[in-house]
């Protein structure tokens, strides 16, 4: 959480906790984020420990108008920014501990804050906002593409549903038994199917399947025997014939609309 006035150092916003202490991790980032400058090392330094003690137990107690703050507030929570928050004096000490040049930047930034000379948005923040706007436009474009794809998928699913519906309609009727049906029944039985399954697929009765398999179906004399092909050839012919019939029915429905 930040207060109304936000400190900005090297184009980096320094967050604050509810009491106004500054986020040491942001200062580390502003200083370049080097491993040797980690806040952990600064806080473990003996000089820093002495300064923290002096701030925590001042020889001259603060007046009633000045609220006493614990100099260090370490936050370990998923609901707010985790890390270490410190009072202004430790901000200066941390900057001096890193380098004189960084200390100067911190002092000038704080002076600009208290005198009202701090710009509301650093230059690189404007760049980030422009970049974010570009990202949002790209996301919007991607959403339009996804919408179009969804419509196409829905259309394909509709065709598939109609195909399945036609298949179910075709499965309900009974067809005339021919030599081609006999060959198909024998091929399906050769695949290990039951008479009931063969009957359902070929849309003939179970008794007819039994007669065809056992060679007892009273086939009309006009039905000449078909040359026996392989099981694979017969099944492939079945698939192609079924596909052709269904496509023809779909085309008919399209023309009727």
Per domain, the residue ranges of the chain are 7-120, 173-256
pLDDT at 139 over 90: no
Q: In the predicted model, is pLDDT for residue 123 greater than 80? A: no
The pTM for the full model equals: 0.44
pLDDT, tens only, 35-45: 999 999 999 99
| Alpha-carbon gap, residue 66 to 69, rounded angstroms | 9
Q: Is the confidence at residue 3, as pLDDT, over 60?
A: no
Give the separation between CA 225 and CA 152, rounded to whole angstroms: 47
Residues 102-115 have pLDDT tens digits of: 999 999 888 888 88
- Higher pLDDT residue, 225 or 83? 83
How far apart, in whole angstroms, are the C-alpha atoms of residue 67 and residue 55? 13
Asked if 89 contacts 71 with a C-beta cutoff of 8 angstroms, the reply is yes
Q: Which structure tokens are listed for 51?
A: 């300064």
> What digits encode the pLDDT tens for the residues 74-104?
887 655 667 899 999 999 999 999 999 999 9
């Amino acid at each position: 959480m930040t207060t109304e006035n936000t400190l900005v150092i090297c184009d980096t916003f320094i967050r604050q906790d509810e009491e106004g202490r500054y986020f040491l991790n942001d200062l580390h980032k502003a200083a370049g984020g080097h491993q040797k400058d980690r806040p952990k090392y600064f806080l473990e330094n003996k000089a820093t420990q002495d300064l923290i003690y002096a701030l925590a137990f001042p020889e001259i107690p603060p007046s009633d108008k000045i609220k006493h703050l614990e100099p260090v507030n370490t936050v370990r929570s998923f609901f707010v920014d985790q890390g270490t928050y410190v009072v202004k004096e430790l901000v200066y000490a941390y900057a001096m501990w890193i380098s004189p040049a960084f200390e100067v930047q911190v002092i000038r930034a704080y002076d600009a804050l208290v005198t009202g000379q701090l710009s509301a948005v650093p230059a690189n923040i404007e760049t980030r906002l422009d970049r974010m706007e570009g990202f949002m436009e790209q996301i919007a474009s991607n959403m339009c593409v996804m919408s179009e794809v969804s419509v196409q998928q829905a259309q394909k699913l509709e065709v598939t549903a109609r195909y399945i519906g036609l298949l179910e309609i075709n499965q309900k009727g009974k067809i005339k038994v021919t030599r081609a049906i006999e060959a198909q029944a024998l091929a399906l039985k050769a695949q290990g199917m039951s008479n009931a399954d063969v009957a359902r697929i070929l849309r003939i009765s179970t008794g007819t399947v039994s007669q065809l398999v056992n060679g007892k179906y009273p086939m009309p004399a006009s039905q000449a025997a078909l040359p026996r092909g392989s099981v694979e050839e017969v099944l492939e012919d079945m698939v192609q014939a079924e596909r052709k019939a269904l496509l023809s029915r779909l085309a008919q429905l399209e023309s009727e609309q």
